[in-house]
């Protein structure tokens, strides 16, 4: 009987594994949320066409380098199934691994609140009762959507991934329609008008414009690590790296086309003044009202898919970390379908609380979101840095120099992203990491009870924790006294 049960469990586990197409859809679905539909206006606000091209070139090089780092690590370190969390832990110790998982988790769950608010704000285009997505009707419907998604994931990651594939395809249809029509309607004379922004002094020089452009691209690629995070659920390890690179390159091409083609339909000044989602109004200007309707429908579907994808990722990281002894044990429980049941419940309860906060205090929610959104950049930097460290210490000569160069580019780029997010946000994020000290202490005590250790932090980790604690307290005091703001 025991042997039969073991076979059944193995078959169930195999049935819940994700193939290449599902992994690609998870990467694309996680990256393409609401930001893609606002790119034309967001980019045009701070840069001309020439600067935007340079910005995309730099971003493309940096993100492709990061994707190759993930691909390389997924092949050479198949034992690290937690992706960005595992890389930080393997490279820089338990506490930094925990902080990587902690920051990523809170970023993901609060980001989901943003997706839900944006989703019903988009629905408000068709049904004004939902307003901008943060009134009572929106919160009630968003809550229903949240728990329906939870129910789907609890039935198994494979089932949720299938739905994610469907929503990813559905969101790409209006985007491809936009691209095709934009190619047909593209006007070179509009695109080349004030190409470097010289006649618009308020934009500043080319360098300032490029920085403005890259501050927009900073956020639209979050989700590149989607396949890496769920690598433990992949049918084939090699698919993880392939999905990351294919998903990244495909998304990059889509973003570049959306941005540059829009500049050939409307001049920069008009684009910068469009409401969100600006893509809808660009298409409406050439085909009429139905263009805006199609894009807004695409936005709703896109945000639904992004919410599903990020709910999967948000639950997966603490689940993997708990199984590894880095998060409290409560997060490690699975249900009979192999879903991270407790991690999912805890994550979505916190999402629900944050969602309700939008009813009473949009500023409180904005503070939470601003703190968490920047924290996700830390795991990216630690992943790239580990990739560089791994190659420098590797004795394998084949391709080593190339991999070191790629990892160096990814490390420099991700370090710049942390800097570009702003020192103010780095200070705010120390609040998040200071709170994490409690969770790390609980997890360490649970884990150390089996290993007979008499310490929680290593010497250098005590210094890091103290810095987080002091800086976090300072940040809270500065917020309370108005000396630090998120505006």
Residue 6: pLDDT over 50: no
Residue 433: pLDDT over 60: yes
Peptide bond into 277 cis (omega under 30): yes
382-393 pLDDT, tens per residue? 999 999 999 999
Domain regions of the chain by residue span:
16-421, 423-487
Q: How far is CA 53 from CA 28, 50, 282, 361, in A?
A: 22, 5, 19, 39
Q: Would you give the DSSP letter of residue 128?
A: G
What is the Cα–Cα distance from 133 to 99, expressed in whole angstroms?
A: 32
As a whole number of angstroms, the longest Cα–Cα distance in the chain is: 79
Per-residue model confidence (pLDDT) at position 352: 94
pLDDT band per the 50, 70, 90 thresholds, residue 1? very low
Enter the pTM of the model. 0.84
116-165 pLDDT, tens per residue? 888 888 898 899 999 888 889 999 999 999 999 999 888 887 777 788 88
Closest-CA residue to 375 (of 422, 325, 441, 442):
422
What is the Cα–Cα distance from 160 to 305, expressed in whole angstroms?
A: 10
**Looking at 95-109, 120-134, 313-327, 357-371, which range is the least confident one?**
357-371
Per-residue model confidence (pLDDT) at position 260: 96
Per-residue model confidence (pLDDT) at position 364: 59
pLDDT band per the 50, 70, 90 thresholds, residue 4? very low
Question: 16-421 — its CATH code?
Answer: 1.20.1740.10
Average pLDDT (79-106) is: 87
Average pLDDT (235-262) is: 90
**Looking at 78-82, 190-194, 266-270, 415-419, which range is the least confident one?**
78-82
Q: Would you give the DSSP letter of residue 331?
A: G
Closest-CA residue to 163 (of 49, 255, 50, 26):
26
Average pLDDT (427-440) is: 91
Q: How far is CA 322 from CA 319, 325, 359, in A?
A: 5, 5, 33
Per-residue model confidence (pLDDT) at position 439: 93
Per-residue model confidence (pLDDT) at position 10: 45
**Looking at 21-35, 39-53, 449-463, which range is the least confident one?**
449-463
């Amino acid at each position: 009987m025991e042997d039969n049960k073991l076979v059944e469990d193995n078959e169930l586990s195999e049935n819940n594994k994700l193939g290449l197409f599902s992994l690609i859809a998870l990467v694309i679905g996680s990256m393409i949320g609401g930001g893609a539909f606002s790119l034309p206006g967001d980019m045009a606000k701070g840069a001309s066409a020439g600067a935007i091209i340079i910005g995309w070139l730099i971003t493309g090089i940096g993100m492709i380098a990061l994707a190759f780092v993930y691909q390389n690590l997924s092949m050479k370190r198949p034992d690290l199934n937690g992706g960005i969390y595992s890389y930080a832990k393997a490279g820089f110790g338990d506490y930094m691994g925990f902080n990587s998982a902690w920051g990523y988790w809170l970023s993901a769950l609060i980001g989901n609140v943003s997706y839900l608010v944006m989703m019903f704000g988009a629905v408000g285009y068709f049904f004004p009762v939902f307003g901008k997505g943060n009134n009572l009707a929106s919160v009630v419907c968003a809550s229903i959507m949240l728990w329906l998604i939870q129910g789907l994931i609890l039935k198994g990651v494979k089932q949720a991934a299938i739905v994610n594939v469907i929503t990813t395809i559905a969101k790409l249809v209006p985007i491809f329609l936009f691209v095709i029509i934009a190619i047909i309607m593209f006007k070179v004379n509009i695109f080349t008008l004030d190409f470097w922004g010289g006649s618009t002094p308020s934009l500043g020089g080319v360098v300032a414009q490029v920085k403005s452009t890259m501050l927009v691209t900073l956020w639209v690629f979050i989700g590149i690590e989607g396949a890496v995070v769920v690598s433990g659920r992949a049918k084939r390890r090699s698919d993880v790296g392939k999905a990351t690179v294919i998903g990244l390159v495909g998304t990059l091409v889509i973003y570049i086309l959306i941005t540059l083609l829009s500049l050939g339909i409307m001049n920069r000044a008009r684009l910068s003044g469009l409401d969100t989602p600006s893509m809808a109004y660009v298409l409406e200007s050439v085909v009429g009202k139905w263009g805006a309707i199609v894009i807004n429908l695409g936005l709703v579907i896109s945000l639904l898919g992004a919410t599903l994808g990020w709910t999967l990722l948000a639950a997966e990281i603490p689940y993997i970390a708990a199984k590894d002894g880095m998060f409290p044990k409560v997060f490690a429980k699975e249900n009979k379908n192999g879903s991270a049941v407790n991690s999912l419940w805890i994550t979505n309860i916190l999402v629900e609380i944050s969602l309700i906060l939008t009813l009473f205090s949009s500023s409180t929610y904005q503070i939470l979101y601003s703190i968490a959104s920047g924290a996700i950049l830390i795991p990216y930097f630690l992943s790239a840095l580990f990739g560089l460290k791994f190659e420098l210490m590797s004795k394998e000569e084949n391709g080593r120099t190339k991999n070191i160069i790629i990892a160096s580019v990814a490390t420099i780029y991700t370090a710049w992203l942390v800097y570009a997010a702003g020192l103010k946000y780095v200070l705010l994020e120390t609040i998040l990491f200071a709170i994490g000290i409690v969770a790390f202490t609980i997890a360490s005590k649970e884990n150390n009870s089996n290993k007979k250790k008499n310490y929680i932090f290593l010497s250098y980790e005590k210094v890091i924790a103290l810095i987080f604690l002091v800086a976090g307290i300072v940040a809270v005091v500065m917020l309370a006294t108005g000396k630090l703001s998120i505006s």
